[in-house]
Chain A
Amino acid sequence: MKNWSLRSKTFLLLASVVIAATVPLISYFVVTARGLARFGDDPVVTRVLGEAVRNGGSSAGRNEAALALTRYGQIQALRSSIVRQVIVVSVAYCALIILVSLGLGYLFTSRITRPLAILIRATGEFAMDRLDYRLPITTGGEIGTLIHSFNDMADKLLEARREKVLAERKATWQRVARVIAHEIKNPLTPIKLSTERMYEKFLLQSRDFPEVIKGTTATVLHEIENLQKLVESFHTYAKFPDPVPALASVNDIVSEVCGLFTGPDVRIVRDLAPDLPPLMIDRGQIGQALMNIVKNAVEAIAETGRPGTITVATRIEESHVVIRVRDDGPGIASHHRDRLFQPYFTTKKQGSGIGLALTERIVSLHQGDVACDSTPGEGTVITVFLPIRFTRSPDNRHAGAVPGETPMASGSRQPAAQRSGDGESTDH
């Protein structure tokens, strides 16, 4: 009964009240009818009246006795029919009252359940992140107040969301500016030193000026090349397109990516859950995100100089499809782990440091999350969480996204790895 609808409960209440009100009344009528009908069942009355008719004194008296006897006999003859009629009429009346009450109850509960159904639909729209949905106020009283409060709450939520997006956007710009400044500063220093040395040697007319020219020019050109690569990766990250979702199997994507990495030194093991539902995701982007993770794992194992194993597992956990990539490489130091998903961060000699940042961006665009857990000397686990509710095509909320912007996703979990820049605290 706890899960019954409001209408069902109201019907039950009405029916109980009507039955409780009418059944005793009907019983009273029937009992009273039977009681009164017994008046026609007294043989003494019949005998006395009969004697009065036969032996009564005057003609008028005998006529009256005959009439009384007739009436008494009629009650006796008709009492069963009368009682039957009382029962039938009472039951029919009770049934009519019940029907009318239930009909009225249906009408009245509709006036309550209809606005509640609209409210429930509105909360569903909110769950789909449509915060601009508003309810028309078509009624007063408590329901009208509730609708008014709902609309107020929606306005405040939308405003709060806008402020949060602005704040995140600002924080992201600041973070990106810090990273870019740091990455640009690195090649600028050798360029400046080389140019100063070259100029000094020129002024001094040094004998080794040609060799210095050669060396410093090579250095400058190398750093310029690094700057170009930086600009290129920045361009790639900034212009990353919004996902184009379509139903895709995560297991298929995992199998495709794993099939690209074959080699004698790395063994890739697949542990795929058979009951994964298809998700509305951009197959290419998710594949790229997964490829970045697996590629990182392969490169980490290669650095150890010994064979290793990478296990890629898929599971359903709570309301997410989870992809877990575990390697037995060297692991990541804890002070590096915090910056793992920052753009342009890398511990390798080569690489732009943009791969995992792109992975994190792709997963965020799909309203998911990515986390890292690592033990130095034992290996690393990178986990991607993709929400299962993302089985319907979401609205495109990220047109023209700012580089590094984390999309606002209602209900997305907090990342396990805290992302920070240059030792500053994260602003979440």
Chain B
Amino acid sequence: MNFILTLLVAAKGLFIVGGALGGASNVAIAAPALLPGDSVLAMTCSLTNVYPPELRKLALTGTQILLYLFVETWDTERNRPITRVVAENSLRFDAIGDRFVIVRKPGADSLAFTTADSALAASSRFDRIAILQRPAVSSERSYHFVITGVLGSARIDALENKSLDLMYFWKYRRPSVRTEAYRGADLFAHSRGSAQP
């Protein structure tokens, strides 16, 4: 009985202490690219080293893996956020269909992959996320963007459906990057071309 309780504590306890063991997580946000449009600013970016070996194994079991990307727009001079957008990639292995399914939000896109590597790579990428509307910014002011990656919780059927915070696999470290500041006028397409941060 004590052992079962310990197992439940282990799952529910989010492996907080155990996360201190083992090597450091090296997940990072790579090459965010801004895509100015007429009225919407979009962004594409990828996360690297998202799936350490244990998380990869878990993903291959058919456990749903949720990966979030938080994009905050900050008024640089006032140093406060003005908008926040959350994108979600959900990866799940369909054992019956023998394929990997990725569902993207917002937008509810659904992608299917037959190989694990391509599915994992695709789930780490966020394409053309609308992060900013034109009316929200002023042309004369400066803005920068803070991008943060987060893993969500997974339901572990083997542990009586207990929720497991997958951030354990990233050692509870959220990768984050801050872009340089841009003038509001440069963030939308009618004034100049794509802006690469």
Contacts and interface: CB of A to CB of B under 8 A. Distances in A.
Q: Which of B13, B22, B94, B158 has the most CB of A within 10 A?
A: B158
A66 B96 contact: yes
Contacts of B140: none
Contacts of A88: 17-18, 21
A190 to B, nearest CB: 109
A72 B98 CA distance: 17
A73 to B, nearest CB: 3
Given A63-B96, A71-B157, A81-B15, A76 B61 contact: yes
B62 to A, nearest CB: 4
A106 interface: no
A149 interface: no
Given A63-B96, A71-B157, A82 B62 contact: no
Interface stretch (B4-12, B107-115, B179-187): B4-12
Interface in A51-68: 53-54, 62-63, 65-67
Interface residues of B, number: 30
Contacts of B158: 71-72, 74-75, 78
Chain A, interface residues (CB within 8 Å), range: 20 to 34
Contacts of B157: 67, 70-71, 74
A82 B156 CA distance: 13
B3 A89 contact: no
Contact of B62 (A73, A78, A86, A89): A73
B95 interface: yes
Q: Considering the complex of A and B, which 8 residue pairs feature the smallest CB-CB distances, nearest first?
A: A73-B61, A85-B10, A77-B57, A70-B62, A66-B95, A74-B158, A77-B58, A71-B158
B168 interface: yes
A89 B13 contact: yes
B33 interface: no
Nearest to B3: A32
A217 to B, nearest CB: 116
Contacts of A32: 3
B21 A74 contact: no
Consensus secondary structure, chain A interface: helix
Interface string B10-37: 1101010110011000000000000000
B42 interface: no
Nearest to B169: A81
Given A32-B3, A54-B98, A85-B10, A78 B58 contact: yes
B54 interface: yes
A50 B62 CA distance: 12
Nearest to A56: B96
Nearest to A33: B3
Given A29-B3, A74-B61, A62 B96 contact: yes
A18 B60 CA distance: 43
B63 A74 contact: yes
A174 B161 CA distance: 104
A92 interface: yes
B2 interface: yes
Contact of A84 (B9, B18, B60): B18
Given A29-B6, A78-B158, A80-B54, A66 B62 contact: yes
